[in-house]
Chain A
């Protein structure tokens, strides 16, 4: 019972973290161009900002 008092909040907290990470990614437009993202890793000469 005491174990549960720790484990339940931890499990819920981690789940909520995952959920917020997903929302953050969704809002940040990371799901806007799935085809592009899949292909972009093949570009090895991307002109970076530096």
Chain B
């Protein structure tokens, strides 16, 4: 503490902690108060969107102190590593152009209303000049996102949606400036700004969706521990960051801590939770001499582990590399908006050029021909097309989110809509992935026994106790008052209920995982636990079949366990699949021309999740699983799968309708433009109506997830 007192004069340091468990105002308050109560903390401010808290603290404080303070109020946290500096927000860069376009459009439109209602002579010219004064800087500023993207596409010899936009906008601005200088009759600043406003709105919606997903992904805890307590040569304990761990160092891993590196146990026996690597929740007993992996959780007792591989050499890092290299199907996918613009842009430019040539041949002057060609460009600018995709996807994503399905990216919906084959992992995806008490065992309990069991189980954080407590609460039981509760690792819980000794303990002998409930004077009740299939799996698989998706099981578990699940669901299955086997299975199907959906949760599914055309993970999945998947569903029911596929298909149907509407509008408006009947007023009306129609059509997706 004396060190803290000395350091008061030093400037405080800033540490960012990731706290994935924060969801509401209450959590924010708890986190901030808990940190501020720690001596040495100057201030703590939560960013709820990013699930992070920035702590200003005196230099004498260490990260584990802050983490411990948060643990005291029930929040797991981790320092934000250097590799995960906040990614710049995609929306933020678009907000300023959007505001400028909105401001410019409103003011120019105000002046244009005067012109449309018949202002003439010097008033009209004054209005044109004012419009140019506001419009040109606004267009230059608000158009930058498009100009930049179009320029970089052209430089690489390609074209995208931004190329016709940029050409249309620049030509229209140039023409309007010319008209203003020469005192012409029409200027197009209003339409140009409106175009930019609509397009920026579409782009911002798209980016907002991606941002939200990315914030969720960044908030996920790193799979490996940030560091470990190392026993130094002179017997001291020292906290070392994961990247500074070296082979041969000895880590002391406390119960409940994750391992920061691969290693070999040299002292201690414990249970290791390998669910991150294998998806198997049952802890594996380890003794000195056994190998343990980074990212696994030490459950029962402290261990001393000699590091055999650290940092990039761990098996965890190996899987991460496999994942990185397997995302090809996804990066090769071209979004529907870009595919549309590949056809659209050349068609529009050809049309404008043809009308220019046509009018020249027909004997109109060069000036009039240019005006008409530019009118064609403005009218065909993909205003509604720019909104057609993002609005539909944002509405559908929000609908899915209300049903507990998180979509990370708009393109995920496009890819999901094309799925015709699904591979489902067993443990944790098709099943709950955690032991659930046997229903008949619970039914055999009397009301008092159940109340005692709940009273005891609620005192422990052991997975079996928690599963038992959850099941009993769900059946409507209330906990009995238990006194003198004590928990003994390896035995269970004991306490006193109305003066009688009671215990919830490890059974004397049982083949499967089970607990025994013992009330002195009564019979011993055995409650067995088993991993259960998710609720509604029959209905979900039937619906998937109805949607044209063929399903099968792809599991890393042993043949016996997989065969059981296969019999229960009637699906074909592949067992004993390693992470790369799963990846191969996905690419084999892709080579056969199928669009594969991977449903998985574990780290071992990570590469396959990344390789598949689309992927879904349950909310209980490992961090890697959630990060690699396109969609994450909360809740237990497997019905989330058909809901997501159905919503994706509906979204694509609406997107196609939107394209049809936008093109239909062009079919109607383009002849008018070619014939030279389009005025700035007509252009403004046509553009806003077509955009509103597209938005209205997309809003029908509010119920897409039902």
**How many residue pairs at the A-B interface have CB separations less than 8 Å?**
59
Q: A36 — which chain B residues lie within 8 A by C-beta?
A: 28, 46-49
Output the residue of B33, B46, B49, B89 with the most chain A CB within 10 A.
B49
**B474 interfacial contact with A, CB 8 Å:** no
- Do B107 and A15 touch (CB < 8 A)? yes
Q: B375 — which chain A residues lie within 8 A by C-beta?
A: none
**B110 interfacial contact with A, CB 8 Å:** yes
Nearest B residue to A5, CB-CB? B126
Partner of A33, one of B33, B49, B99: B49
Q: A11 — which chain B residues lie within 8 A by C-beta?
A: 107, 110
Q: B609 — which chain A residues lie within 8 A by C-beta?
A: none
The contact string, 1 if C-beta is below 8 Å from chain B, for chain A 1-37, is: 1000000100110011011001100100001111110
- Do A39 and B25 touch (CB < 8 A)? yes
**Residue tally, chain A, CB below 8 Å to B:** 25
Partner of B49, one of A32, A41, A43: A32
Partner of B99, one of A22, A40, A42, A47: A22
**B130 interfacial contact with A, CB 8 Å:** yes
- Do B134 and A40 touch (CB < 8 A)? no
- Which secondary structure characterizes the binding site on chain B? helix
Smallest CB separation, A18 vs chain B (Å): 7
Q: A42 — which chain B residues lie within 8 A by C-beta?
A: 24-26
- Do B99 and A19 touch (CB < 8 A)? yes
- Do A15 and B106 touch (CB < 8 A)? yes
Closest 5 pairs (CB-CB, A-B): A36-B48, A42-B25, A39-B25, A35-B48, A33-B47
The contact string, 1 if C-beta is below 8 Å from chain A, for chain B 10-35, is: 00000000000000111011001100
- Do A23 and B107 touch (CB < 8 A)? no
**B344 interfacial contact with A, CB 8 Å:** no
A sample of 28 inter-chain contacts (CB < 8 A) reads A11-B107, A11-B110, A15-B103, A15-B106, A16-B103, A19-B100, A22-B99, A23-B99, A26-B92, A31-B92, A31-B95, A32-B47, A33-B46, A33-B47, A33-B49, A33-B50, A36-B47, A36-B48, A39-B24, A39-B28, A39-B48, A40-B28, A41-B25, A42-B24, A43-B25, A46-B29, A47-B32, A47-B33
**B123 interfacial contact with A, CB 8 Å:** yes
Nearest A residue to B138, CB-CB? A19
Partner of B103, one of A1, A18, A35, A47: A18
* Residues of chain B whose beta carbon lies under 8 Å from any beta carbon of chain A: 24-26, 28-29, 32-33, 36, 46-50, 89, 92, 95-96, 99-100, 103, 106-107, 110, 123, 130, 134
Q: How far is the CA of A23 from the CA of B134 in the complex (A)?
A: 17
Nearest B residue to A27, CB-CB? B96
Output the residue of A1, A16, A19 with the most chain B CB within 10 A.
A19
**A50 interfacial contact with B, CB 8 Å:** no
* Residues of chain A whose beta carbon lies under 8 Å from any beta carbon of chain B: 1, 8, 11-12, 15-16, 18-19, 22-23, 26, 31-36, 39-43, 45-47
Smallest CB separation, B12 vs chain A (Å): 15
Q: B29 — which chain A residues lie within 8 A by C-beta?
A: 43, 45-46
Nearest B residue to A12, CB-CB? B107
Smallest CB separation, B580 vs chain A (Å): 39
- Do A26 and B49 touch (CB < 8 A)? no
Q: A8-B130, A33-B49 are in contact. Are A43 and B28 (CB under 8 A)?
A: yes
Q: B47 — which chain A residues lie within 8 A by C-beta?
A: 32-33, 36
Q: A33-B49, A35-B49, A47-B33 are in contact. Are A40 and B107 (CB under 8 A)?
A: no
Q: B25 — which chain A residues lie within 8 A by C-beta?
A: 39-43
Nearest B residue to A45, CB-CB? B29
Output the residue of A11, A23, A33, A34 with the most chain B CB within 10 A.
A33
Q: A40 — which chain B residues lie within 8 A by C-beta?
A: 25, 28
- Do B107 and A33 touch (CB < 8 A)? no
- Do A23 and B28 touch (CB < 8 A)? no
Smallest CB separation, A23 vs chain B (Å): 7
Smallest CB separation, B122 vs chain A (Å): 9
Q: A35 — which chain B residues lie within 8 A by C-beta?
A: 48-49
- Do A26 and B33 touch (CB < 8 A)? no
Q: B110 — which chain A residues lie within 8 A by C-beta?
A: 11
Partner of B123, one of A1, A33, A34: A1
Q: B106 — which chain A residues lie within 8 A by C-beta?
A: 15
Nearest B residue to A8, CB-CB? B130
Q: B24 — which chain A residues lie within 8 A by C-beta?
A: 39, 42
Q: A31 — which chain B residues lie within 8 A by C-beta?
A: 92, 95
Smallest CB separation, B367 vs chain A (Å): 30
Q: A11-B110, A40-B25 are in contact. Are A34 and B99 (CB under 8 A)?
A: no
Q: A11-B110, A39-B25 are in contact. Are A23 and B48 (CB under 8 A)?
A: no
Q: How far is the CA of A15 from the CA of B103 in the complex (A)?
A: 7
Q: B50 — which chain A residues lie within 8 A by C-beta?
A: 33
Q: How far is the CA of A23 from the CA of B24 in the complex (A)?
A: 28
Q: A39 — which chain B residues lie within 8 A by C-beta?
A: 24-25, 28, 48
Q: B103 — which chain A residues lie within 8 A by C-beta?
A: 15-16, 18-19
